Chains A and B, each alone.
Chain A
Amino acid sequence: MPSPPPPLLSLHHVSVCYGAVQALSDVDLAIRPGEIKALLGENGAGKSTLMNAMYGLVEIDRGQLVWEGDPLHISGPRDARRIGIGMVHQEFTLIDALSVAENLGLVVTDDRGGGEGWLIDYAGVRRAAKTRASQLGLDIGDLDARVGGLPVGVRQRIEILKAMLTDVRLLILDEPTAVLTPDEIEQLFSVLRSLRDRGVAVVLITHKLREAIGLADSVTILRTGHVVAERQPAQTSEDELAQLMVGRVVTNPPTRRPADTSYAAPALLATGLCTPSAAGCAGLDNLDLNMPAGRIYGIAGVDGNGQQQLFDVLSGMREPLHGEIRLDGKLLEEHTPNAFSAAGVSVVAPERRRDGAVLDMQLWENAILDVDLLRRHSHGWTVDRSAAEEFTRGLIDTYGIVCSGTAATAASLSGGNLQKLIVGRALARRPRLLVAFNPTRGLDVGATGEVYKALGEATTSGSAVLLISTDLEEVLSLSDDLSVLFHGRLSPPSSPPYDRARIGQMMGGAAPDSPRVRG
């Protein structure tokens, strides 16, 4: 075996503090050209801080960065890009109101420092974007589409393209696969492999063990700001990595008793739902859904096939063009979240910080952010704070929510702990129907397990649970019934054991009854 090339970027004893919180302590890391390195860790382990330090977004308090043997000082992303470090953020940095081409043009302009004239060369941007996209095998569609209207999967591809427009020698990706389909993930991985073969160093932040083992050349595990181990994928296992990540032995997701199938009346019966399609996003196309109570009904599918519309319609946020929704036989006539909530619908929205919590309010206030729960924790017109706090403490205990108390702001919680609160809140009122959309996106192993457990428990108390998720593994492992959403249409439900390959084909557009993938 040839000796490894010298590191492209190395970190020596790097520490970063946010106020009193030590986000990184004494981290050593070496990234070599032509290497894919996975940074593995739970939420809050310091992965994002580490990448931000490499990209100039976070100032390091102690330690040093070394780039090709010379000390490196980066004072911002522009510096980082100039020497050839590119980054794909987990939360997108695209500007919704601008078109794809305009978003790409901004990067180019920014990198020039605005020094070369006043005009953005959009023709050049388009040419470069098209060439790059085809080189990398990224399908980004219409360059004139407004970014705000595009599905999340497409936005991510634009984000990747944006990072790759300039010559990049080190590419950092923060949880890039969270929103992608298996096919898209495979596509992304082949892009990353070909980059590696061209000598680019790739750093992949993830908490998905399978990805780390399947793709990376080396895996670095972070826990509470420390590097706890380095492994070669060939010499480790998912089990070992999981234990290193959480620092304890991981238990498998709870196996649920197969749900009772003898229910006669459906809990939710939706027929003929139609919504208009938006830029790049399929609308619902005469969609029927028949959900029995006490079961988890999984909706698999590639993002942008109508998931958001289905969620919006079933939460009352959007009135369908046609079609009707019945809950326990009762027609829901008023299409508002207020009316749906009153009828017994709870939701777990995909963007938890934006749609699921009021960040600057306290935990006990967020715990009763629900018409029914607020009423239950009130005396007449006034809110009964002590009852609400008691209730919140119950949620904290039940779901193991890590927080400084019921008076902490929702903003202070990590994504996983906030999501546990949101799910716990949604279940506390024993909804007839729980609609959960990507409920574990971006969560670590522990929090994901808690959410799965809670969804399972909801069914035992008689709720119908609709799990809309773009994480195929999740849908496969949790669902009692499963349909694939493609172009706004739902395949007939199938039952476990699922034919993974078949479902994968249907996600790509194969007709449910034909074994072929449609052109």
Chain B
Amino acid sequence: MKSRAITSVLAAAAGLLAGALVILLTGGDPIAAYTALAYGAMGSGYGWSEVAVKSCPLIVTGLAVALAFRAGLWNIGAEGQLVGGAVLAVFFATRTPHLPSIIGVPATLLAAATGGALIAGIAAILKLERGVDEVISTIMLNFIVLGVVGYLVHGPLMESSGNYPQSDALPTFARLPRLFSGYRVHVGLAGALALVPATAFVLYRTRFGYVIRATGSNPIATKIAGFAVDRCILATFVASGALAGLAGGMEVASVTYRMYDNFSPGYGYTAIAVAILGRLDPWGVLAAALMFGVLEAGSASMQRVAGVSAVLVSLIQACVIFALAAFEYQRASDRGGP
């Protein structure tokens, strides 16, 4: 475990190095760029608040992806599940008569989790009943969800004024309160942080988690040993989708307040990188999500101050994953031999 964490740290460093190289090659100043990035993200209360805002959905979707991967389920559909969850949350919150916040917020988040779980459930049932590979089905579902959202925000969910293709704003009873006035950081951060030990507990301490891990490592042996592997796959997929949906609900209830096209900047996809960099371990996911959060939050400042495009952050993220794969390959061949 420890050496795997070290590998992740090295991979992160290699990704930053690769980014620096690209900045150099394009005539920029990597030190200035990274300083600007770091300062933008961590040099002020506002920066830290933005790190938290960016990290929140990454933590929760990262946990969703890690949980599924742990069971050997390649859920590439966190993006669709996140967006689907957010849509259902908006549906619920904008079509419900006024509620007290104490009920409205949990109910909205529950609607979001249900949305994500339903979409993941489709992939799970396709896999179990018809043997459809979940990689294919979850990717396809992502596109379906995006298409449906496009229709909804131009149609049934379009704001009552009819000006823009976006939903009405969430009523205040459904919104997550902010922690400090003037900063976007919201109580969802506490929820996301609490989900980390909760997921670790489920994974490492409970019977459900035991079966998830056994199924993920060796589904055949687990099945022969008498475990209901199909039920575990369904439950894990649904739980993973629920987490991703919850992330979407938190995002819409605390940051955007509305649903629109391109609602998510690809959190569900970045989550895959987060889960892998975090070695599918909840605490690792937290660390990786924070790192990616810093990159995302500081990218605007880097672009503004150092003139390096914010897109560089995506390149760094990609290089981190490449480096990780390369280090892992090296480790595996070092261990090699018969």
Contact = CB atoms under 8 A, between A and B. Distances in A.
Interface of A: 18, 48-49, 52, 57-58, 315, 317, 336-338, 340-342, 347, 349, 354-361, 365, 369-372, 374-375, 378, 381-383
B96 interface: no
Contact of B221 (A357, A372, A383): A357
Contacts of A341: 225-226
20 contacts: A315-B224, A336-B228, A337-B224, A337-B225, A340-B226, A342-B226, A347-B224, A354-B221, A356-B221, A358-B214, A359-B217, A361-B217, A369-B222, A370-B226, A371-B227, A372-B226, A375-B207, A378-B207, A381-B206, A381-B207
A338 B226 contact: yes
Given A358-B218, A370-B226, 8 more contacts: A315-B224, A337-B225, A338-B228, A340-B226, A358-B213, A359-B218, A365-B213, A369-B222
B337 interface: yes
Contacts, number: 76
Nearest to B204: A383
B220 interface: yes
A317 B222 contact: no
A340 B224 CA distance: 10
Nearest to B210: A383
Interface centre among B207, B220, B224 (most CB of A within 10 A): B224
Q: Which 10 A-B pairs have the closest CB atoms?
A: A341-B226, A358-B218, A338-B228, A371-B226, A358-B217, A369-B225, A337-B226, A382-B205, A358-B214, A381-B206
Contacts of A349: 221, 224
B213 A361 contact: yes
B164 interface: no
A381 B224 contact: no
Contacts of A347: 224
B223 interface: yes
Interface string B184-215: 00000000000000000000011110110110
Contact of B225 (A52, A342, A354, A371): A371
Given A52-B338, A382-B205, A382-B206, A337 B214 contact: no
A369 B223 CA distance: 10
A398 B267 CA distance: 52
Contacts of A383: 205-207, 210
Interface string B160-175: 0000000000000000
A49 B338 contact: yes
B74 to A, nearest CB: 18
A49 B228 CA distance: 39
Contacts of B227: 337-338, 371
Contacts of A338: 226-228
A371 B214 CA distance: 12
A57 B205 contact: no
A143 B97 CA distance: 72
B210 A355 contact: no
B338 A370 contact: no
A466 to B, nearest CB: 15
B207 A355 contact: no
B210 A374 contact: yes
A382 B217 contact: no
B56 to A, nearest CB: 28
